Structure 1
Amino acid sequence: MNKKINIWQLTPPQILVLGFAVIIFIGAGLLMLPIASATGQSMSFIDALFTSVSATCVTGLVVVDTGSAYTTFGQIVIVSLIQIGGLGFMTMATLVAFVFRKKITLKERLVLQEALNQGSMEGIVRLIRKVIIYSLSIEAVAAVIFTIRFSFDFGFTRGLYYGIWHAVSMFNNAGFDLFGTVDAPFVSLTGYVGDFVVNFVAMMLIILGGIGFIVISDLIEFKSTKKLSLHSRVVLSMSGLLLVIGALGIFIFEFTNIRTLGSLDFGAKILSSFFQSTAARTAGPNTVDISALRQASQFLIVILMFIGASPGSTGGGIKTTTFTILISAIITMIRGKEDIVIFRYRLAKDRILKAITLSMMALFLVIIVTMILSTTEDSSFIKILFEVTSAFGTVGLTMGLTPELSTLGKVLICLTMFAGRLGTITLAYALQPKQEKELFRYPEGKITIG
């Protein structure tokens, strides 16, 4: 006699994977409807699926231009997927539970803990409330500013629509935009390269969405607590350092490149450099042509995309905290010390092992997908590497390869975006069989290293 599978018998990682997969296929189904396409004809399943994966995984890589290929209905479906994918479907489900005064069960708290990458369930529901309030508040303020600015270009009605749509997209680090047309698709924010208001608001949204909700909560409560957690201090310091290094590198490499920064005035050069450095941290919009950048700049962006945002955020990548632990481990080893110490706190060995595991799994994923696409796609290596890293980091920056991908290429990029959003370790936990406790330990062995 067959037993029905109870979803709540699944582990939290399995529930997350299944939940995101269900949302993706529902989104693909909606985008395949003729009412979603600007041509009035159903979009192919693979293109609809790719767009749905990209939106739900808050990436921004697209095979068709969002502004010109989709109707208002299709665009609303996409921005809804972005909001659900950015905050997490469990967060949205909790919002519904709050509205209907439904009690959050222990199993649901475990899934929320996994979704927000928290070490314990303590205060998880309170954190979810903060996530919802902070997110909607930040998006609302940005939407008002964007609406005022875009109203000068498109009129109030369209300006309001664009303001709300792009506030949601930018805060969730999605990289989708509506500025493309039939004659000029995939333009992103290149028309606003020197616009301080659009650039500054977009950067603030990307940064706030990328540092994570725990850090935002710490910053808001700093006035009363007068202290920041170790996590927040690491995230803020490393995020700031990477932002400055990225901007400085792009500024130097592209200063004389007439196709990117070379034709801009000095102020616009600085603004654009900081914007591209910010966007490389899992956001996706661009104010200059990414394919026109020099290879040094493109490779620098690949590194920034691989590192990505911070834990508990809307972004992807191996995360700033993981990168900090790796750098600290190298410094500790070189100095001959035993413990990794950050801001006068010693890190536990399991944190270090998790950081190394996550980084190596991410590196293997990027390498394997890049190697496969190098044989299936007719394009340069840097272009393929850039696209794969952008997919893994859920960034959305592109050198123009995505619309040219083969069906196999699209499937592989979809899987890479999915792995990047959920995390390689979460996927591994979801796919592995039930763990059994080891009843013995093997004798210690020694291997020569170096």
Structure 2
Amino acid sequence: MTTRRRTRERVVRLGRSMRYRADRFLQSLSTWAKPPQLTAGAFATVVLLGTALLALPAATETGEGAGFVTALFTATSAVCVTGLIVVDTPEYWSTFGEAVILALIQIGGLGIMALATVLTMAVGRRLGLRMAVRTSSEAKSLTLGDVRELVKGIVTVTLIAEALLAAVLGLRWWLYYGESPGRAAYLGLFHAVSAFNNAGFALYSDSLEGFVTDPWICVPVAVAVVAGGLGFPVWLELWRFSRRRRERYHWSLHARITLVTTAVLLAVGFVSFLVLEWRNPATMGGLDPRDKLLAAFFQAVMPRTAGFNSLPFGEMNTQTLLVTDILMFVGGGSAGTAGGIKVTTFALLAFVILANVRGEPTVHVAGRRLSDGVVPQATTVVLMAIGLVVTATLALMTITPFSLDEILFETTSAFGTVGLSTGITGELPVAGEFIIVFLMFVGRIGPITLASALALRRRPRRYELPEERPIVG
């Protein structure tokens, strides 16, 4: 046996041993840690690490270091891909601080997509998960190798999409706005990562208001926000659809609901912004009709949930803010970078209402009957989300002088990890900032872990009590 062959066999044995040890470690870890605990712990660890890095003197322009609350708020907003800020990003943070924020956005976006996709597939196969990144090795289960391939696919799609968007934006800032090649590339990369991950962080003090009439900036950013908010399962189906004949491809119920509901909500948002703000001189009243269409489309996309804005929300009509609240609360697709209760949850409850109005005992959607456990899961997620937003709104109304419209907009934006604001974020007291931090964190990981936990912990009742029907309505 040659030396090269012996070396190759040793490397193979070492690789098998490492994979075996890693698998055993994951199994031992899963005996005491559950998916919600691991999810919260992992994201909390990244938030604390980001807080420590942003508190360094090198992270600020002044070199004095950010305060704990400022660093914690910014790190949470970046990891939870929200975009709410208490300080001006380009003026307060140094290049090192901006790089930390960019890294936190990428980690948060990829982490959420990978985790949510694994949990979604596990729920779809009716498996019992012991942890977020590892499932049992029994028949029909999602193995560690499957998870590895999923994560690899998510990373690949994400990096390709971000690279394409960065190239388009960088060329625009270089060739049209006269930025140096290095500065243009940096601006393109930062905003590409922020847009695709639905973060909404911008390197301009007024977000993207200066580009409200530029389709080469607004349209690519809006497309990236929609793509990131659809979720990896939908991307996968779109890719399979492109490789097969249309008449032979069968769309899953999840993909159909996500695509149709997203399109409907985008259309509703577009028409609402266009009608309600058409004559508002503080927003789009002074724009040309073509520019008004572009501004309305861009702002209809952002509640999907990215915090960019090309119009000042602090100057918008109350009706527009209410419509935006609803869109932000719904959010985007499951297993994506968007927040909110998710469009599938919203659509399923709409079908439940329709079935009850018709007097039908079961809920049917697109030729499929919903399983019995879906409706209680969706109802629980929505009611807990409403309770959280209402409680936080009441608390902020107690400790701040702002109006209900402003506070409700802020809390809904934080819970939906949107990042849009009427401008009151930086004026909140310390207690108010902690409330927003809690909302961002729970809004980012809460719906995913809650929905998966409800689906994966179903257990039969050993007995039933006597039935009685209370009066409803």
What are the within-5 Å matches in structure 2 for residues 33-432 of structure 1? 33-88=56-111, 91=114, 110-112=131-133, 121=142, 123-152=146-175, 153=177, 154-180=179-205, 187-225=206-244, 226=246, 227=249, 228-424=251-447, 426=449
Any unmatched runs of 5+ in structure 2? 1-27, 118-126
Cα distance change on mapping 1:31 and 1:297 into 2, 3 Å: same
Distance, in Å, in 1 between the alignment partners of 2:412 and 2:82 is: 11
Distance 1:208 1:113 in 2: 27
User: Per-residue deviation at 1:378?
Assistant: 1.3
Following TM superposition, the consecutive aligned residue runs of length 4 or more in structure 1 with deviations greater than 6 angstroms are 106-109, 434-437
Residues 1:444 and 1:125: Cα distance change in structure 2 (over 3 Å): farther
2:463 and 2:128 mapped to 1: Cα distance? 31
CA apart distance, 1:109: 8.4
Bigger radius of gyration: 2
Shift of 1:446: 1.2
Is residue 299–residue 309 contact of structure 2 (8 Å, CA) maintained in 1? yes
2:195 is paired with a residue whose SS is helix
Residues in 2 aligned to 1:168 and 1:265: alpha-carbon distance in whole angstroms: 30
AA of the residue aligned to 1:222? F
% identical aligned pairs: 39
Shift of 1:441: 3.1
Please state how far the C-alpha of 1:12 moved relative to its aligned partner.
1.4
CA contact (8 A) 2:35 2:449 kept: no
**Residue deviations 1:137-170 (CA, integer Å, cap 9, x gap):** 1001101101101113222110000111110000
**Equivalence for 1:24:** 47
Separation in 1, partners of 2:392, 2:236: 37
**Superposition deviation, residue 217 in structure 1:** 1.2
- 1:128 Cα offset (Å): 2.0
Is the partner of 1:423 in helix, strand or coil? helix
Using the TM superposition, give the Cα deviation of residue 312 of structure 1 relative to its aligned residue in structure 2, in angstroms.
0.2
Aligned-partner residue type, residue 360 of structure 1: L
Deviations along 1:67-109, one digit per CA (max 9) or x if unpaired, are 11100100000010000001117949x9xxxxxxxxxxx9998
Q: TM-score, with normalisation over the residues of structure 1? A: 0.89
Point out the more displaced range, 42-51 or 440-449: 440-449
The AA in structure 2 aligned to 1:164 is: L
Distance in 2 separating the partners of 1:386 and 1:214: 30
For this pair of structures, how many residues does the alignment match? 421
- Please list the CA deviations of residues 414-450 of structure 1 after superposition, one character each: whole Å capped at 9, or x if unmatched: 00000110024626998xxx99985433222211112
Q: Secondary structure at the match of 1:280?
A: helix
- Cα RMSD between the aligned structures? 2.4
Q: Is the 8 A contact 2:33 2:131 kept in 1?
A: no
Query: Which residue is equivalent to 2:9?
Result: none
Question: Are the counterparts in 1 of residues 197 and 337 from structure 2 also a CA contact under 8 Å?
Answer: yes
